[in-house]
Amino acid sequence: MPYKWLGLTLCIALLYVGLMMAKGAKESPMESFSSIRRQLASGGYVFVPPGDYTLARTIRLKSGTVLEGRRGCSRIIIDDTFQKGPYYPENEFAVSNAGFSQEYDSATADDITIRGLTFVLTKKNKDPIWCLLGMANIKKLVVEDCDFIVQGQGIGGSNIDLYAGCKNVRITNCYIKNDTGAPYGAAVMVRSLNIDGANPHNATEQVVLAHNIIEKNGNDEAIAVWGCTGRVKDVVVQNNRIKTYGRVPDVVLSAFAGEFNDCSAAQTNNVVFDGNTVTADDLRYAIFQVGQDTDTISRLDDVTISNNKIDVKVAASDRSTVIRTIGQDNYTNIKITDNEITNTGRVPIGYGVLGQGLVTDNVINGLFEASIACVDTCHNNTINDNTTGTAIENVAHIRANVINNCLVGVKCFVTGVFNVAENSINMADHQDSMGIMAIDIAGSRPVVYISGNEINTGGHYHAKILIKEEITNWIK
């Protein structure tokens, strides 16, 4: 018996020693990341094993680096212990590139891939760093299957910033959450903050943001595409799912060149928002905005908003707009086509589509002050169930639209010439329903040409066409 107990005791002791040795051999998260940082100093392929790694200071990735982990398991944490550097980009970004520069140089520009990592920036008592990932002077960047999460208790921050001179960028299949509730901090910025913005070589270009999930609680955009001081061109924002909640951004997605007339060199060209799904618990100002009221000197050309599905509601009726484009002489070729816009609530939204541009083949459902207003051309749209407002308002060219169950089909009341042709208007069954209205307000006297429209009344007798205030230039 004594020998048996002695053997059992020896086995337990050996097992305990083995466990302690194994535990001692395993590095702590900080020690583990230190070894990863040493690998990153050489560049090439670096794998981050599963685990939580606290990042103490900025990572500068060399050209040719492929940084990969196991998504959801390999987590890089930035918290209040992070020590920001004294200079750019170490005082702004947790992860950046070695060749970071506001001017593009093909000899020093970096080629970087980041895959399968989860980055978490947590702000509790202070602002350890502004943004998770910031890049400039990039010749190729691939970011895929990653998570970028910013959490802050009223302290703002951004997730991804393509800061300047970023070329051939693909950000795909990522989860991007900006959950700060703060008045500032974008999820993704695509811009070009150059010293010499007039130099076309410094442009940020050939950028694809596709198949990402973005959740946003806090002001500033989910995605902002803007020239800043330089040029941004050839950007595709496609098949992303975007949800806003809590403090809904004033603007969810934007494309603009400059603002406040700060830089005449700013340009934004060829931007496409296509196939995205946007859901908003509340609408503060706009889901999409193209251009800026404060910008009259920079160039904005070729912006397309197409095939997007937008579900939105408002808590209180106001002048908010789902898609808003700014009318400036320096903005050209804005197209809004094949989108489905739905007011999912019972409170009217200001406008479905408002402003400059070509508006075609969209479906707009629900309550608005005006479903489409003040655009250049409005063709082949379908507008349903706007029983409290106007389907199409003050649009110069209105043709071949289908309007179903709306209080007013077409209304013109500002100075101008309006062509209303070949539309199908099925009026709402309401005593105030109207097919086409022309109203003189304070001497506006709109000139309206009407031809080939089909107007069907509801269950009651209603005037199909109404001319008010002795408009003498009415032509049928």
Query: Using one digit for the tens of pLDDT, what is the confidence trace for 410-452?
Result: 999 999 999 999 999 999 888 888 899 988 898 898 999 999 9
Q: What percent of the chain has pLDDT over 70?
A: 89
Mean pLDDT rounded to a whole number for the chain:
89
Question: If you average pLDDT over residues 223-242, what whole number do you get?
Answer: 97
* pLDDT interval class at 28 (50, 70, 90): very low
Dump the DSSP string for 162-183: EEEEEEEEEEES-EEEEE---S
Question: If you average pLDDT over residues 9-37, what whole number do you get?
Answer: 50
Cβ count near 38 (within 10 Å): 10
Question: If you average pLDDT over residues 289-301, what whole number do you get?
Answer: 91
CA separation for the pair 188, 242 (Å, rounded): 12
Give CA separation, 81 vs 185, 195, 290, in Å. Answer: 21, 33, 39
pLDDT over 50 (residue 315) = yes
Q: What is the pLDDT of residue 23?
A: 39
Could you say which DSSP state residue 200 is in?
Answer: G
CA separation for the pair 250, 280 (Å, rounded): 11
Is there a contact between 145 and 117 (Cβ–Cβ < 8 Å)? no
The residue with tokens 């392929």 is: 45
CA separation for the pair 103, 191 (Å, rounded): 13
